[in-house]
Each structure stands twice: as C-alpha cells, then as structure tokens.
C-alpha cells in the first residue's frame, strides 16, 4: 500500500503503538486478527492521506515518482518481474488497492475483507473487479510496448 520500506516501517510502528494504546477497547466482538488488520488498514490510509496533503506535485508526477521510487527501493527485487504488477497496483485508487491486496496477495474471502473494511460484500466485489480489470489492461499495454 505504501511506497517504500521506510513508509512501511512507519506504518507498522504506528499500528503497534495504536494497538498498545487501544487494547482495552477491544471487546472481542470481532476476531483479534480482524481488529488488528482494521487498525493497520486505518493507519495506512491515514499515513497516505497525510503524505498526500504534504505533497505539492501533481497526481501524474506523483504516480511517476512512485514507480521510480519502487525501482529505487533496495528492499524490492526488480529481477522478480513483479515490478510491472506493483506499478499497476500503485496506480489504483486507495480503496481498490486495499481490496486487491487483501484478495490477491492475502487470499482473503470477501466476508473477511468486509469485516475489516466494514464495507458490503457487493461493494468489495465491484472494487476488486475494477482493480483486476485495470491491472490486466495495464499489463496488456506494457506487454504491447
């Protein structure tokens, strides 16, 4: 979800601090895993929004920068040929990116994602379908080039 390892590290730390401070609020209404995942997701979105507010560049420049950043990240193995996919994912709107990551990489059911994001299963299916179609189109374009 975030651009590089440093950002990911910040989000992880913020998430655990939030968990530490809020553990008394956990009432067991959902699974602990779901609760933790929800906090991590919220922290990620908050982090991205803060970054967006600070950024002065245009959206196009930002997307370009993100792709460049990914190539420059020493903790991303470009040789694994996943760069194209990651670049495509970076272009997705936040909500679609979240849903795609949860469904594609984490292999979660729509019900599980619904518990975390508190969104209807129908809405999640729509988000995932849009995301997959966009990525497929991007990959096709990159292959043609």
As measured in angstroms, the least distance from the Cβ of 29 to other proteins is 21
Q: Which is nearer to other proteins, 24 or 53 (CB)?
A: 24
As measured in angstroms, the least distance from the Cβ of 56 to other proteins is 28
Q: Which stretch binds other proteins (CB under 8 A): 41-49, 53-61, 101-109, 114-122?
A: 101-109
Q: Which of 71, 82, 94, 121 binds other proteins (CB under 8 A)?
A: 82
Check residue 144 for interaction with other proteins (CB under 8 A): no
- Write b or e for each residue in 79-96: b if 16 or more Cβ atoms lie within 10 A of its Cβ, otherwise e: eeeebeebbbbbebeebb
Number of chain positions touching other proteins (CB under 8 A): 34
Check residue 76 for interaction with other proteins (CB under 8 A): yes
Question: Interface residues for other proteins in 16-45 (CB under 8 A)?
Answer: 16-17, 20-21
Host H or E run for residue 46: helix 32-54
Nearest to 43, CA basis, from 8, 92, 3: 8
Check residue 126 for interaction with other proteins (CB under 8 A): no
Query: What interhelical angle do 83-90 and 121-144 show, nearest 10?
Result: 130
Q: Are the C-beta atoms of 103 and 96 separated by less than 8 Å?
A: no
Q: What is the CA radius of gyration of the chain?
A: 16
Q: Which is nearer to other proteins, 51 or 130 (CB)?
A: 130
């Amino acid at each position: 979800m975030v651009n590089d390892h440093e950002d990911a590290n910040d989000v992880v730390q913020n998430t655990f601090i939030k968990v530490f401070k809020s553990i008394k609020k956990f009432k067991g209404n959902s699974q602990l895993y779901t609760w933790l995942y929800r906090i991590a997701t919220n922290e990620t979105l908050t982090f991205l929004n803060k970054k967006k507010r600070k950024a002065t560049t245009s959206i196009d420049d930002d997307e370009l920068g993100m792709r460049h950043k990914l190539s420059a990240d020493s903790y991303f193995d470009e040789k694994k040929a996943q760069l194209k996919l990651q670049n495509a994912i970076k272009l997705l709107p936040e909500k679609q990116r979240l849903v795609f990551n949860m469904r594609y990489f984490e292999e979660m059911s729509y019900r599980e994602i619904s518990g975390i994001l508190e969104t209807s299963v129908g809405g999640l299916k729509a988000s995932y379908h849009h995301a997959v179609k966009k990525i497929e189109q991007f990959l096709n374009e990159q292959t043609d080039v």
